[in-house]
């Protein structure tokens, strides 16, 4: 006999657990099926993001940044520190405790909202049935609901010729668990994940960090001016980013890994103590649905959905990393809220033109909306306003003056089309541009808004003024003759 619910959510990551909570808030009898097992061998909610991605990586990024500041930057503030030592075990324990606290927090939220947490691996069957192989049990459990939400998440892409091996060749999850700082670290992929992980271990004392990127352009998804600034900053920090480099072979010899790769300069070999494979993620949809269910997937394994995340099956929705769009936790969460609202009979949508992206390196990189190169390619007339952090009083007081803020506005309507930031706390500052775009605001709307002084947020204000050549704290652009 199948258990009956109003909604069954498959997946307990940022998309799935948020969808489940919102469904429960709306009065729907909700169950959430999740198969994650944490490092202690126990079921845990939160998915990859909380357990082995967003949260633990940000913990290490924060800790490694403070370690680097204590070593190299505090003296400039008149704070003399000597004998700074790394206690990696304590740093990792702190990371694990943060993860544990947050996963238990979600578990408490499920209890508070009367959500049924079913621990196990789920498969969608025909007729809106879900079959669950329960964790730690030999029995299966059948769930039936009027509405099904698929939120299976994603998995790291693996390379056939670079197999994972012990703690020497690892994926992004394994890279958060090194018990010693590798002297020579290799990373395949110089995207968001590779840059963040490379930054952590470079700050913690790796002698050399080499990132091998197959693409010829650095951060091709980002605004090209911002990407160039980032590449210069990372090179200054000591990250060796080699573009157009394709790995052809990998061999583990003892406690070392040898790589062969090729680029425009020919064939090369390199030896590393550790190797991280960070070449992207793929939809976790293998065996998600039985053949007779008839769920439509594309050639890459993504679930086919419409603008409202409805699949080809009536009453079955899909959200998060397993559907089109950027693989971002906040994007999946907002899709979860939208679907819950729709199921409850409300009006809802997600504005996919205002999804922020962040790289939590130092400097931080953040953007939303159209890039300058995309606007040029599409023939859209626009104005650009740029304000450097070097002209910010607060940034100077912080001793963090690298980077800039750039706003792009429609030349005719002044509506904000995009924002691109690199520098201190840009992961927070980007929200100002996102809110403006969500409300259909203009560069002038930001320019007419009063900001506190001295703050980093003033730089957004100045960039908006610069769109119309009115920035106060930088010299005007010279007219071309």
Q: Of the candidates 345, 268, 348, 356, which has an alpha carbon nearest to the alpha carbon of residue 307?
A: 348
Q: From 419, 432, 326, select the one nearest 367 (Cα to Cα).
A: 419
Instruction: Please identify which of the residues 453, 461, 468, 473 carries the catalytic annotation.
Output: 453
- Could you give the CA distance from residue 95 to residue 92 in angstroms, rounded to a whole number? 5
Contact 150, 11 (CB under 8 A): yes
Residue 155, judged by CB atoms within 10 A of its CB (0-12, 13-18, 19+), counts as middle
Query: Which of 459, 456, 455 is CA-nearest to residue 446?
Result: 459
Residues 6 or more apart whose Cβ sits within 8 Å of residue 422: 226, 229, 230, 233, 363, 364, 365, 366, 402, 403, 404
Backbone region of residue 325 per phi and psi (left: phi > 0; alpha: psi in -120 to 50; beta: other values): left
Of 439, 434, 428, nearest to 407 by C-alpha is 434
CA-to-CA dists, residue 154 to 15, 416, 457, angstroms: 11, 32, 34
C-alpha distances in Å from residue 419, one per residue of 46, 185, 328, 373: 30, 33, 18, 13
SS3 of residue 75 by DSSP: helix
Q: Indicate the SS3 state at residue 263.
A: strand
Tell me the residue length of the chain.
481
Residue 453 bears catalytic tag: yes
| Buried-exposed string 427-466: b where 16+ CB fall within 10 A, e elsewhere | bebbebbbebbeeebbbbebbeeebeeebbbbbbbbbbbb
Q: How far apart are CA 132 and CA 150, in angstroms?
A: 14
**Nearest CA-CA partner of 392 in 470, 453, 476, 447:** 453
Catalytic residues: 453
């Amino acid at each position: 006999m199948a258990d009956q619910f109003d909604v069954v959510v498959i997946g307990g990551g940022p998309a799935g657990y948020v969808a489940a909570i919102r469904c429960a808030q709306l009065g729907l009898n909700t169950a959430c099926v999740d198969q994650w097992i944490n490092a202690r061998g126990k079921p845990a909610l939160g998915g990859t993001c909380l357990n082995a991605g967003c949260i633990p990586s940000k913990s290490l990024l924060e800790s490694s940044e403070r370690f680097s500041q204590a070593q190299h930057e505090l003296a400039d503030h008149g704070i003399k520190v000597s004998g700074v030592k790394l206690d990696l075990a304590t740093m990792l324990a702190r990371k694990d405790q943060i993860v544990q606290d947050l996963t238990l927090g979600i578990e408490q939220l499920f209890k508070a909202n009367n959500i049924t947490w079913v621990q196990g691996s789920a498969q969608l069957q025909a007729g809106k049935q879900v079959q669950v192989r329960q964790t730690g049990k030999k029995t299966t459990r059948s769930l039936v609901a009027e509405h099904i939400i698929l939120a299976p998440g994603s998995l790291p892409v693996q390379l056939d010729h670079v197999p994972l091996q012990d703690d020497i060749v690892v994926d992004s999850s394994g890279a958060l668990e090194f018990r010693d700082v590798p002297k020579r670290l290799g990373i395949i992929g110089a995207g968001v994940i590779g840059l963040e992980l490379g930054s952590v271990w470079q700050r913690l004392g790796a002698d050399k960090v080499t990132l091998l990127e197959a693409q010829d352009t650095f951060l091709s998804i980002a605004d090209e001016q911002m990407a160039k600034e980032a590449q210069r900053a990372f090179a200054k920090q000591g990250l060796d980013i080699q573009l157009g480099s394709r790995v052809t072979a990998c061999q583990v010899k003892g406690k070392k890994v040898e790589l062969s790769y090729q680029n425009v300069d020919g064939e090369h070999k390199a030896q590393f103590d550790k190797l991280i494979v960070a070449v992207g993620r793929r939809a976790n949809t293998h065996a998600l649905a039985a053949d007779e269910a008839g769920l439509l997937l594309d050639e890459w394994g993504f679930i086919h959905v419409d603008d409202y995340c409805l699949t080809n099956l009536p009453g079955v929705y899909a959200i998060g990393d397993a559907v089109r769009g950027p693989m971002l936790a906040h994007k999946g969460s907002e899709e979860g809220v939208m679907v819950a609202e729709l199921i409850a009979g409300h009006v809802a949508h997600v504005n996919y033109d205002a999804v922020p992206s962040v790289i939590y390196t130092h400097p931080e990189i953040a953007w939303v909306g159209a890039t300058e190169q995309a606007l040029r390619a599409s023939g859209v007339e626009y104005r650009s306003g740029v304000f450097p952090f070097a002209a910010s009083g607060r940034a100077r007081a912080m001793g963090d003056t690298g980077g800039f803020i750039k706003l792009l506005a429609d030349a005719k309507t002044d509506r904000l089309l995009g924002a691109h930031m690199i520098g201190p706390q840009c992961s927070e500052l980007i929200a100002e541009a996102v809110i403006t775009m969500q409300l259909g605001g203009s560069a002038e709307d930001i320019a007419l808004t009063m900001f506190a002084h001295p703050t980093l947020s003033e730089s957004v204000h100045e960039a908006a003024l610069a769109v119309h050549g009115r920035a106060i704290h930088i010299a005007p652009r010279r007219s071309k003759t």
